[in-house]
Structure 1
Amino acid sequence: MGLSKTQRKYRIRRRIRKVSNGTAERPRLSVFRSNSEIYAQLIDDVKGVTLAAASSRDKDIAAVKGNKTEIAALVGKAIAEKSKAAGIEKVAFDRGGNLYHGRVKSLAEGAREAGLKF
């Protein structure tokens, strides 16, 4: 019998993390997607520190009405703005075991539009 959906996602997440490590110069842009919300963090894996974070629960983003894909694009733009304020322009993208489709893709494209380089 095959793997369950959560086991498959965990296996993919471990495989991605083998090659995607964040440093102070090029942090890891980690994406977590729940059923209703989406979160993004810039992580320095060397020090084990979160440099910046944005989510769909932030007050300015939560006030906007729209579907989940549009909200994810706003979260991508918000994390890009916070990274620019911190002096970060290049990141390593970590989709967290999710497929690069839908809300995860929308977040990545929003971050790219705001000037973040993957």
Structure 2
Amino acid sequence: MVIPPPPPPTRIIKYLKPYVLKMNFSNKFVTAQVFHEPTATVACSASSQEKGLRSTMTSTRDVSAANKIGKILGERLLSKDIPAVSIFMKREQKYHGKLKALIEGVRECGLKFI
């Protein structure tokens, strides 16, 4: 007689949603998007190119702008009931500077990272 394995806990299944955070840093702007991988659609995005945000920022490309974009993206994700995301980083990217500021801004809003 073969005993089947126990089902995984429900709290882990709740966070295994296929949302991926992708970031782009150009010389002028900071952009972050969250993709829903199975459907290949953008679930949420934030950028320093948005007209409403440009007036509130002193610079659209530095570390403080990246932190602000991260906070705005985190609030938008929570309003869409997305509690967790995974991070897509390019091979040459290091957890430093603008990248760190953006991720910390998202984390301050209460999102979980997988």
**Aligned residue number for residue 11 of structure 1:** none
| SS, match of residue 49 in structure 2 | coil
Partner residue, 2:102: 107
The structural deviation recorded for 1:111 is 0.5
Matched, 1:65 2:58: yes
| Shift in Å, 1:96 | 3.5
Query: 1:18-69, CA deviations, whole angstroms, 9 ceiling, x for partnerless residues?
Result: xxxxxx9240011111122111111011111100000111223211215710
**Distance in 2 (alpha carbons) for counterparts of 1:108 and 1:61:** 18
Q: Are 1:61 and 1:74, in contact at CA under 8 Å, matched by a contact in 2?
A: no
CA RMSD of aligned residues (A): 1.7
- Structure 2: state its 5+ residue gaps: 1-15
Instruction: State percent identity of aligned pairs.
Output: 29
Question: 1:77 aligned to 2:71?
Answer: yes
Gap runs ≥5 in structure 1: 1-23
**C-alpha distance 81-54 of structure 1, shift in aligned 2 (>3 A):** same
Q: TM-score, normalised by structure 2?
A: 0.76
Higher strand share: 2
CA shift digits 1:76-111 (9 cap, x unpaired): 001101101110010001134422110011000011
**The structure with more radius of gyration:** 2
Normalising by structure 1, we get a TM-score of: 0.73
